A and B are shown apart, each in its own frame.
Chain A
Amino acid sequence: MREFFAMGGYGAYVWSAYFLCIVVLGGTVAFSITNLRTLLRTLSNSQQGPSD
Chain B
Amino acid sequence: MSLPRSDQSGHADFSLTTALHRLGSPPYVYRLATQLTPWFAWAAVACFGIGLYGALVAAPPDYQQGQAYRIIFVHVPAAWLSMAVYVVFAIAGAVGLIWHIKVGFIVARTSALIGAAYTFLALATGSIWGKPMWGAWWVWDARLTSELVLLLLYLGYLALDSAIDDRRTAGRAGAVLALVGLVNLPIIHYSVEWWNTLHQGATVAKLGAPSIHIDMLVPLLIMGIAFKMHYLTVLMLGVRTGLLKQEKRASWVKTLSPAR
Chain A neighbourhood of B70, CB < 8 A: 7, 14
Report the Cα distance A47→B244, complex, angstroms. Answer: 14
Listed stretches B21-29, B138-146, B206-214, B230-238; interface member: B230-238
Is the pair B241, A36 in contact by a Cβ cutoff of 8 Å? yes
Report the Cα distance A37→B124, complex, angstroms. Answer: 30
Report the Cα distance A24→B118, complex, angstroms. Answer: 8
Report the Cα distance A29→B67, complex, angstroms. Answer: 29
Listed stretches B128-136, B152-160, B161-169; interface member: B128-136
Is the pair A43, B120 in contact by a Cβ cutoff of 8 Å? no
Given A24-B120, A40-B256, A44-B258 in contact, is the A17-B244 Cβ separation under 8 Å? no
A-B contact count (CB 8 A): 88
Given A20-B124, A33-B237 in contact, is the A43-B253 Cβ separation under 8 Å? yes
Is the pair A8, B244 in contact by a Cβ cutoff of 8 Å? no
Interface string of A15-51 (1 = CB under 8 A from B): 0111011001100110011011001110110010000
Chain B neighbourhood of A33, CB < 8 A: 237
**Residue on B nearest A32 in the bound complex, by CB:** B237
Q: Does B220 contact A (CB under 8 A)?
A: no
Is the pair B233, A17 in contact by a Cβ cutoff of 8 Å? no
Report the Cα distance A41→B227, complex, angstroms. Answer: 29
Chain A neighbourhood of B74, CB < 8 A: 17-18, 21
Q: Does B125 contact A (CB under 8 A)?
A: yes
In this complex, how many residues of chain B approach chain A with their Cβ under 8 Å: the count is 39
Report which of B67, B227, B238 forms a contact with A8, defined as CB distance below 8 A.
B67
Q: Does B245 contact A (CB under 8 A)?
A: yes
Chain B neighbourhood of A41, CB < 8 A: 258
**Residue on A nearest B73 in the bound complex, by CB:** A18
Chain B neighbourhood of A39, CB < 8 A: 241, 244-245
Report which of A4, A10, A20, A43 forms a contact with B66, defined as CB distance below 8 A.
A10
Is the pair A17, B66 in contact by a Cβ cutoff of 8 Å? no
Chain B neighbourhood of A43, CB < 8 A: 244, 248, 253, 256, 258
Q: Min CB distance, A42 to chain B, in Å?
A: 9
Is the pair A28, B125 in contact by a Cβ cutoff of 8 Å? no
Is the pair A40, B244 in contact by a Cβ cutoff of 8 Å? yes
**Residue on B nearest A11 in the bound complex, by CB:** B67
Report which of B41, B61, B71, B256 forms a contact with A17, defined as CB distance below 8 A.
B71
**Residue on B nearest A10 in the bound complex, by CB:** B68
**Residue on A nearest B247 in the bound complex, by CB:** A43
Q: Which 10 A-B pairs have the closest CB atoms?
A: A44-B258, A32-B237, A8-B67, A10-B68, A7-B67, A17-B125, A8-B66, A21-B74, A17-B71, A17-B128
Chain B residues within CB distance 8 Å of chain A: 41, 56-57, 61, 66-68, 70-71, 74-75, 78, 113-114, 117, 120-121, 124-125, 128-129, 131-132, 227, 230, 233-234, 237-238, 240-241, 244-245, 248, 253-254, 256, 258, 260
